[in-house]
């Protein structure tokens, strides 16, 4: 039987989820997952910039205590991986370096949510820019995030900027941004970091991010490390589109996807 995993999920320790961690874990169990990572937001990017006080910062000590306790409680039934999702911003680098010293994790996702210091989840970001400017600035920040000076395992949801983009055709195609995407993909491969396939893509015209041509290009360049993340913020979304992502990976020439334990990639055969 195929092993269903999920390397990117949130619970109510994240500012944008109301789901208790136990509910997420019980849902993962009910869906038959043997491995499940909880990767709550740690948004120091929003802490170091003015104007983002409305983003509730994670209570790190309480959060790690709770997730480690649940991991131990469910051991033998479900492999709960302790993860975190960092919101990249160069000015927050020193804070993430310190957090990495303080807490043991299995998987760290490095993600760009602020583009040029602005939240690309809201309309004003797009009002000031052309589509090409918006997507180019986003990819420039993703490229910089790959070079972050702290340890991480995965670059999250490449193409995130399209989730709330106000265009009829939102897709950021490889052919239109090949220079920047190649730069990002080559660096991922050289640094041994994983490309995430993120199935939180409702309303984008895609089943997952990044779009399939970018995935194919990563493989063509020699990329092997890929993870699956639903980015679920509620129990019902755990492992959404997992089968579609597996099919796309196989079609692009991948034989494995990976989960992370203590920052080591563990291969899972596709099919």
**Residues near Zn ion (CB under 5 A):** 85, 111, 231
Min CB(160)–Zn ion separation in Å: 6
- Judged by CB, which is closer to Zn ion: 83, or 265? 83
Residues 188/194, Cβ–Cβ less than 8 Å: yes
- Judged by CB, which is closer to Zn ion: 41, or 255? 41
Min CB(200)–Zn ion separation in Å: 7
| Residue 179, helix vs strand vs coil | helix
- Judged by CB, which is closer to Zn ion: 84, or 225? 84
Min CB(16)–Zn ion separation in Å: 9
Is the four-CA dihedral 245, 27, 84, 12 of positive or negative sign?
A: positive
Phi, psi of 154 (to 5 degrees): -135, 140
Min CB(85)–Zn ion separation in Å: 5
Q: Which residue is nearest to Zn ion (CB)?
A: 111
Rounded to 5°, the CA angle 5-156-104 comes to 70
Tokens 């509620």 belong to residue: 234
- Judged by CB, which is closer to Zn ion: 159, or 223? 159
- For residue 50 the two structure tokens come to 């003015």
- Judged by CB, which is closer to Zn ion: 111, or 214? 111
Beta-strand ranges (E) seen in 139-271 are 154-155, 194-198, 226-229, 256-261, 264-269
Min CB(218)–Zn ion separation in Å: 19
Beta-strand ranges (E) seen in the chain are 5-6, 35-42, 79-87, 107-111, 114-115, 118-119, 154-155, 194-198, 226-229, 256-261, 264-269
Q: Measure the CA–CA gap between 172 and 161, rounded to whole angstroms.
A: 9
Min CB(251)–Zn ion separation in Å: 25
- Judged by CB, which is closer to Zn ion: 24, or 253? 24
């Amino acid at each position: 039987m195929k092993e269903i995993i999920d390397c990117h999920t949130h619970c109510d320790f994240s500012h944008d989820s109301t789901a208790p961690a136990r509910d997420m874990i019980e849902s993962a169990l009910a869906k038959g997952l043997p491995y499940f990572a909880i990767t709550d937001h740690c948004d120091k990017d929003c802490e170091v910039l003015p104007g983002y006080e409305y983003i509730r910062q994670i209570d790190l000590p309480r959060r790690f205590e709770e997730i480690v306790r649940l991991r131990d409680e469910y051991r033998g039934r479900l492999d709960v991986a302790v993860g975190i999702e960092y919101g990249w911003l160069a000015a927050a680098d020193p804070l993430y370096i310190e957090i990495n010293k303080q807490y043991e994790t299995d998987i760290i996702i490095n993600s760009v949510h602020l583009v040029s210091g602005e939240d690309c989840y809201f309309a004003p970001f797009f009002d000031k820019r052309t589509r090409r400017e918006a997507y180019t600035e986003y990819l420039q920040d993703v490229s910089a995030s790959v070079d972050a000076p702290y340890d991480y395992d995965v670059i999250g949801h490449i193409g995130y900027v399209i989730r709330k983009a106000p265009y009829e055709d939102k897709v950021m195609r490889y052919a239109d941004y090949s220079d920047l995407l190649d730069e990002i993909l080559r660096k991922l491969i050289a640094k041994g970091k994983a490309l995430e396939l993120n199935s939180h893509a409702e309303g984008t015209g895609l089943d997952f991010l990044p779009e399939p041509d970018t995935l194919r290009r990563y493989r063509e360049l020699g990329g092997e490390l890929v993870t699956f993340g639903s980015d679920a913020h509620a129990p019902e979304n755990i492992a959404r589109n997992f089968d579609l992502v597996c099919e796309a990976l196989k079609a692009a020439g991948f034989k494995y996807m990976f989960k992370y334990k203590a920052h080591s990639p563990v291969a899972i055969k596709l099919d």
